[in-house]
Chains A and B, each alone.
Chain A
Amino acid sequence: MPTTMIAGRPIDVNDEGFLSSYDQWDEKLGAELAKLIGIDMTEAHWAPIRFLRADYPARGETATLRRASTVGGFAIKDLFELFPGKPAKKMAYIAGLPKPKGCV
């Protein structure tokens, strides 16, 4: 597991770059991660990220787009506009969570 410098401090990540420690994350770091993938965070961006962060600890896995939609109340269409291309993966990256699974 590599450690990288992000926002001026050492952060543990996996080989793909996703954070591997839930507690090293804060919103300042989230904004920095977003910048790395070309996203400027607005309040509209933060709402689903905060949902993902709050949803993770009890379940031990990152919410899928369906869960963000049915449980979090976010329209999937909006998430595609906010995080273009691969919203589930991008949101997980910014939120400092593992890539959502549900794909076995």
Chain B
Amino acid sequence: MKRLVILGGGTAGTMVANKLRAALGTHELHITVVDRDDAHHYQPGYLFMPFGIYNTSDIVRSRHRFIDDGVELVLTEIDRVDPASRTVHLADGRLLAYDVLVIATGVSPRPDATPGMNGKLWGSSIHEFYSLPGAQALTEAMRRFRGGRLVVHITEMPIKCPVAPMEFTFLADDWLRKHRIRERTEVTYVTPLDGAFTKPVASRELATALVDRQIALETDFAVEHIDNDTSELVSFDGRRIGFDLLVTVPLNMGADYIARSGLGDELNLVPCDQHTMRSLAHPEIHVLGDAGTLQTSKAGSVAHFAVDVFVHNFLDEFNGRPATHGFDGHANCFIESGNGKGMLLDFNYTTEPFTGDFPLPVVGPFKLLKETRLNHIGKLAFRWIYWNLLLPGRPIPLIPTAMSLAGKRVEKDVTAAGTGMPAFPTVPEELGERSATKGSPPPAPRPAPKPAQGPQLETTPLATADQVLPTPIIPKF
């Protein structure tokens, strides 16, 4: 009998365990899930807590309630993984041998990684909402807030749910208006990116939404430290941004056991194939959820679509067939924009978020990148879907695993900003070819062609492949 060990009983780990348990009997595959505790958090709910929309009881459930009884659940810390002997060492001294290992322990906020972040102001005027205690403390801070300078800040990319800080900003703006202190509050959104969001069309639409709400946008801000005496964010290039209430997203890092096991990069993320989620270093290890290096959003929807691909491939290989499925980087994210409205993003590795209708052209019912009441209802309905359909591994109506271009208003000339996959032969593709000869899945055919790239700069002369431009193209910095 084969042994599958899943590290992490969160969104990805729970889905994998339940889907494979439903597909294979206990005499065929032994499944073990390891997590440190029995509390499963609905992480998208943290965002709503500071505004009194959700409380702790809406967000926390017991893990074992959502994991099939035919799955062994081990509750303890992980010490390390030994890939050479295919063994997981648990903190209580137990050893778990595996044939296949799934790493699904996600990422967590690390306020200690930025000097001055968890100093004397931490928990009083500096807060975060990427953990339950953080969201609870921020709920109190919002209740006490009487106006002043509210700064929403991202330390460094990548972070999980990259739209959440923007959503927090929109919800805070709405909340401040309802509490009649918006006029007394200066709101600033501070990001290390060069725009409101990473992809051009979404960045443009979101920047407009910020302007409409009189929210200042500070870009390219790489924080060096937080000055606790003057209450200022200080950047490496010497900019200072003062705050009365700072809501920051600390550096996100993978679990420490990944570093102890020698499996991670500088952020403890496990390098993995973009299409199969297979570890680049160890073929029997797969990475699902936020713990890996997929070049798409770290988000529950991505975990869901990637798990579908992984389960197909796992079952194919289990039954002696070559695995054929490849993940396209599909992400589908509702963005709360306040005042009972929301927006929706739908994109993948090669297609950036566009405006349009989702999932069907014209009839929608959801609108991409536009504020509508139905998008907001979709976001709130998702909590029910999460507990009742997603975690148990049941199909979710209308949302396909692979992204579709149907209903999207594809814009040309906006994708040239280098946000797509590079033209360089990348490591994942090389490994994809190599592993394909061993019977592993080849990268899936991309479902949509990348829109034609127009020249990015107005001054750039048009060039075709066989033309040589007499002068170099100099990027905008």
Residues of A close to B467: CB separation below 8 A: 2-3
Task: Give the CA-CA distance A89 to B471 in the complex, in Å.
Answer: 20
Task: Give the CA-CA distance A11 to B470 in the complex, in Å.
Answer: 11
Secondary structure at chain B's binding surface: helix, strand, loop or mixed? loop
B223 to chain A, nearest CB (A): 10
For B, the interface residue count at a CB cutoff of 8 angstroms equals 52
A3 adjacent to B468 (CB under 8 Å) = yes
Query: What total of A-B pairs shows CB separation below 8 Å?
Result: 126
Task: Give the CA-CA distance A46 to B347 in the complex, in Å.
Answer: 38
Residues of A close to B472: CB separation below 8 A: 4-6, 11, 13, 17, 33, 36
Interface residues of B in 414-428 (CB under 8 A from A): 416-419, 422-428
Residues of A close to B473: CB separation below 8 A: 2, 4, 13, 15-17
Interface residues of A in 70-92 (CB under 8 A from B): 70-71, 76-77, 80, 84-86, 89-90
Given A4-B473, A103-B158, A104-B198 in contact, is the A15-B460 Cβ separation under 8 Å? yes
Residues of B close to A80: CB separation below 8 A: 222, 236-237
Q: Considering only CB atoms, which chain B residue lies closest to A101 in the complex?
A: B295
Given A60-B427, A86-B477, A104-B297 in contact, is the A5-B470 Cβ separation under 8 Å? yes
The stretch that binds A, out of B89-97, B136-144, B448-456, is B448-456
Task: Give the CA-CA distance A103 to B430 in the complex, in Å.
Answer: 23
B474 adjacent to A37 (CB under 8 Å) = yes
> Does A65 reach chain B (CB closer than 8 Å)?
yes
The stretch that binds A, out of B29-37, B265-273, B284-292, B386-394, is B265-273
Q: Which one of B236, B416, B453 has the greatest number of beta carbons of chain A within 10 Å? A: B236
Residue from B224, B265, B424, B455 within 8 A of A60 (CB atoms): B424
> Does B475 reach chain A (CB closer than 8 Å)?
yes
> Does B296 reach chain A (CB closer than 8 Å)?
yes
A84 to chain B, nearest CB (A): 7
Q: Which one of A21, A36, A102 has the greatest number of beta carbons of chain B within 10 Å? A: A102
Given A16-B416, A16-B418 in contact, is the A104-B295 Cβ separation under 8 Å? yes
Residues of B close to A13: CB separation below 8 A: 472-473
Given A22-B424, A89-B475, A101-B295 in contact, is the A15-B468 Cβ separation under 8 Å? no
> Does B465 reach chain A (CB closer than 8 Å)?
yes
> Does B58 reach chain A (CB closer than 8 Å)?
no
Given A16-B416, A18-B418, A59-B427 in contact, is the A103-B193 Cβ separation under 8 Å? yes
Residue from A1, A2, A76 within 8 A of B236 (CB atoms): A76
Task: Give the CA-CA distance A14 to B429 in the complex, in Å.
Answer: 20
> Does B157 reach chain A (CB closer than 8 Å)?
yes
Task: Give the CA-CA distance A59 to B477 in the complex, in Å.
Answer: 25
> Does A99 reach chain B (CB closer than 8 Å)?
yes
Residues of B close to A20: CB separation below 8 A: 422-424
> Does B156 reach chain A (CB closer than 8 Å)?
yes
Q: Considering only CB atoms, which chain B residue lies closest to A12 in the complex?
A: B423
A5 adjacent to B469 (CB under 8 Å) = yes
> Does B220 reach chain A (CB closer than 8 Å)?
yes
Given contacts A66-B156, A104-B198, 17 further A-B contacts (CB under 8 A): A2-B460, A2-B469, A5-B471, A13-B472, A14-B416, A16-B476, A17-B473, A20-B422, A20-B423, A60-B427, A70-B266, A85-B477, A86-B477, A99-B418, A102-B158, A103-B158, A104-B297
21 A-B pairs with C-beta separation under 8 A? A1-B423, A4-B473, A5-B468, A5-B471, A13-B472, A16-B418, A20-B422, A21-B424, A22-B424, A36-B472, A59-B271, A61-B426, A76-B224, A80-B222, A85-B477, A86-B477, A89-B475, A90-B477, A93-B475, A103-B198, A104-B295
B residues bordering A, Cβ < 8 Å?
156-158, 162, 193-194, 198-199, 220, 222, 224, 236-237, 265-267, 271, 295-297, 416-419, 422-430, 453-457, 460, 463, 465, 467-477
A residues bordering B, Cβ < 8 Å?
1-6, 10-11, 13-18, 20-22, 33, 36-37, 58-61, 65-67, 70-71, 76-77, 80, 84-86, 89-90, 93, 98-99, 101-104
Query: What are the nearest 10 A-B pairs in CB distance?
Result: A60-B427, A17-B473, A60-B426, A2-B463, A98-B422, A15-B416, A4-B469, A80-B236, A70-B266, A103-B198
